[in-house]
């Protein structure tokens, strides 16, 4: 079975609508380090391909004529095919969502979706694969990063009506802390402990500040698992 080489991840699209398949392929092409091995409009065609190939990732629709994408997901697990799945569908039923989670879907995107949401899912998947491929063992902090919940994975967005950096107490608290210590680098864990928030929450706000070009970020690759970032306010 073929596997991706180097840092390139292989992916297939399983979607019955030709136009949506084309759109998804175009989206994937915009994300670095992914190679599309094929696109399929029928579940049987996807099964035939997967009998001899094992892509890293499958983008899977749920609604097919006379079939369900969950049928393919069950078949993949039954046949021990080591490919992960991201579901992309208009099916928002709790029953389907629960079933896909039970069979190990990595993520679930509802149509219509923005490119940024798929980009986020592909980036998270790429980061997960990188961590697993570069480490033989993990400490608890690295495992927490690897298994952090989808809710914690949601990035704080300046376009989100619920987010206002001028009035958000956590954002302002982190900003003041960094302003009070302008010459020092801190990890998200250090900042979280100082301010009484979780490391994951601190990191999300730090990521937002980085996007706003407020921070200098230096990664440290010396620890096991995910590289640890150190943050300092730009002068």
162-220 tens-digit pLDDT? 456 777 888 999 999 999 999 999 999 899 888 887 777 788 889 889 989 999 999 87
Report the distance separating Cα 235 and Cα 214, nearest Å. 9
What's the rounded Cα separation, in Å, for the pair 220 and 205? 19
Alpha helices in 64-215 (DSSP H): 69-78, 94-102, 115-134, 140-146, 150-153, 169-180, 188-195, 199-211
Longest dimension (CA), the chain: 63
The predicted pLDDT at position 164 comes to 67
* Tokens 């596997």, located at residue: 3
- 79-112 pLDDT, tens digit each: 999 999 999 999 999 999 999 999 999 999 999 8
Mean pLDDT in residue range 128-145: 77
The H or E element containing residue 231 is strand 228-233
Mean pLDDT (the chain, rounded): 85
What domains lie within the chain, and their CATH numbers?
9-134 (3.40.50.2300), 140-233 (1.10.10.10)
Long-range contacts of 90-98 (CB under 8 A, 24+ apart): 90/62, 90/63, 91/62, 91/63, 96/62, 96/70
pLDDT at residue 141 in the model: 66
Report whether pLDDT(144) > 80: no
């Amino acid at each position: 079975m073929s596997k991706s080489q180097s840092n390139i991840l292989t992916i297939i699209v399983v979607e019955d609508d030709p136009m949506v398949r084309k759109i998804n392929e175009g989206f994937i092409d915009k994300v670095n380090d992914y190679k599309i091995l094929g696109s399929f409009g029928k579940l049987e065609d996807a099964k035939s391909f997967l009998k001899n190939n094992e892509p890293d990732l499958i983008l899977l629709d749920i609604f097919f004529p006379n079939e369900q994408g969950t049928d393919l997901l069950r078949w993949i697990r039954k046949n021990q095919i080591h490919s992960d799945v991201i579901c992309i569908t208009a099916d928002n039923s709790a029953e389907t969502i629960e079933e896909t989670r039970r069979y190990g879907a990595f993520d679930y995107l509802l149509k219509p979706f923005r490119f940024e949401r798929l980009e986020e899912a592909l980036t998270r998947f790429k980061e997960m694969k990188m961590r697993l491929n570069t480490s033989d063992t993990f400490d608890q902090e690295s495992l927490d990063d690897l298994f952090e919940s989808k809710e914690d994975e949601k990035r704080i967005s300046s376009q989100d009506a619920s987010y206002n950096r001028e009035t958000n107490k956590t954002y302002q608290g982190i900003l003041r802390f960094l302003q009070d210590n302008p010459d020092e680098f801190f990890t998200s864990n250090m900042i979280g402990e100082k301010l009484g928030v979780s490391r994951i929450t601190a990191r999300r706000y730090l990521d937002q500040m980085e996007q706003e070009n407020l921070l200098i970020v230096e990664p440290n690759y010396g620890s096991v698992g995910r590289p640890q970032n150190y943050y300092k306010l730009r002068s």
